[in-house]
Copies of this chain bind each other. A is one copy, B any other.
């Protein structure tokens, strides 16, 4: 598909799904995927938690979803799934399982079609760019499509006004990312040089940004750089994990613009007092012109995720360990 077609197609796909919402009662949203595709579901759960009085949302790993077999899963459920190439077997199985329970199944994938599509009522083909590169269509990238689907749901079911604001804000998001890249590149290079030999790097965040910390920990640091990591919740930090902090233990802290920011600020204060090897990425320090004031908190994770990918590229360059290198994934049976 041409670039223009990609945009039109994704928008039309979303519009069709929003029409389908109107035809059934929806009380439960299950956000189901694995690894990095699961991490991108967290902001949408945060949105539904905060804004819906009637609809509740859960994030589950695909196999956890199947084996746990939630008793509330049924015809009044919307199950949104994601797999980048649409070939993750657990996620395809989860779509089939959910459809068998009568749920409305919507699957996101980067490719045009794949096994996951065959087991889903609807699909959306999202846009994607390699880590740190500017996507020509960030307004239909995976996180953005997730918000379109969940904010669209609340627009249709509860008259929530965020959906319209999302659409106008997303039109300006490419510019936000472009400026963020320019602003981050030199810091990312310096960070990569300073931290390339670390064997452990923790990430931390709360609220709408926790999934971003999780994604960087498991996909970038563990999977792509073979560094030990863990995404620590900024509120949980003070109830155990903080005892591991010392001058020589590296932490990456995300500071967002959502309502949970005070937790991240508290963690920041403590990190400054007792740690030294810190990277603080604060959404406040980036230019989010063109983004609706009410949407900034929700869109900060998309910004922070992009900036972290700029860091990932520089880290890989400094370590000499390419982001594509794997020892197990797609190489050995599992």
Where the two chains meet, the residues of A that have a C-beta atom closer than 8 Å to any C-beta of B are 28, 34-38, 46, 49-54, 56, 58, 61-64, 67-72, 88, 90, 200, 206-207, 217-219, 222-224, 226-230, 233, 235-236, 238-245, 259-260, 262-263, 266, 270, 273-274, 326-329, 332, 334
Whether the pair B235, A218 counts as a contact (CB closer than 8 A) is no
Whether the pair B67, A243 counts as a contact (CB closer than 8 A) is no
A267 to B222, CA, bound (A): 16
A274 to B327, CA, bound (A): 10
Q: With both chains docked as a complex, state the minimum distance between the C-beta of A64 and any C-beta of chain B, in angstroms.
A: 5
Known: A68-B260, A243-B326, A334-B238. A230 touches B233 (CB 8 A): no
* Of A38, A61, A90, A223, most B-chain CB atoms within 10 Å: A61
Specify which of B68, B222, B230, B260 is in contact with A64 (CB 8 Å cutoff).
B260
* Of A28, A53, A88, A236, most B-chain CB atoms within 10 Å: A236
Whether the pair A223, B235 counts as a contact (CB closer than 8 A) is no
Whether the pair B222, A68 counts as a contact (CB closer than 8 A) is no
Specify which of B28, B206, B266 is in contact with A334 (CB 8 Å cutoff).
B266
List the B side residues contacting A242 at CB < 8 Å.
328-329, 334
Whether the pair B67, A240 counts as a contact (CB closer than 8 A) is no
Q: With both chains docked as a complex, state the minimum distance between the C-beta of A40 and any C-beta of chain B, in angstroms.
A: 12
List the B side residues contacting A56 at CB < 8 Å.
28, 56, 58, 72
Specify which of B68, B88, B200, B326 is in contact with A49 (CB 8 Å cutoff).
B68
A56 to B207, CA, bound (A): 20
* Of A54, A206, A243, A244, most B-chain CB atoms within 10 Å: A243
Whether the pair A228, B200 counts as a contact (CB closer than 8 A) is yes
List the B side residues contacting A90 at CB < 8 Å.
235
* Of A54, A233, A329, most B-chain CB atoms within 10 Å: A233
Whether the pair B38, A236 counts as a contact (CB closer than 8 A) is yes
Q: With both chains docked as a complex, state the minimum distance between the C-beta of A323 and any C-beta of chain B, in angstroms.
A: 11
List the B side residues contacting A28 at CB < 8 Å.
56
* Of A34, A62, A224, most B-chain CB atoms within 10 Å: A34
Whether the pair B244, A226 counts as a contact (CB closer than 8 A) is yes
Given contacts A36-B239, A64-B233, A227-B244, 9 further A-B contacts (CB under 8 A): A46-B68, A49-B71, A56-B56, A63-B262, A67-B207, A222-B240, A226-B243, A228-B228, A243-B326
A223 to B71, CA, bound (A): 36
Whether the pair A50, B70 counts as a contact (CB closer than 8 A) is yes
A54 to B233, CA, bound (A): 29
> Which 3 A/B pairs are nearest by Cβ-Cβ distance?
A35-B239, A230-B230, A218-B240
Please list 6 pairs of residues, one from A and one from B, whose beta carbons are closer than 8 Å in the complex, sorted by A's number: A34-B239, A67-B259, A243-B328, A245-B328, A270-B328, A270-B334
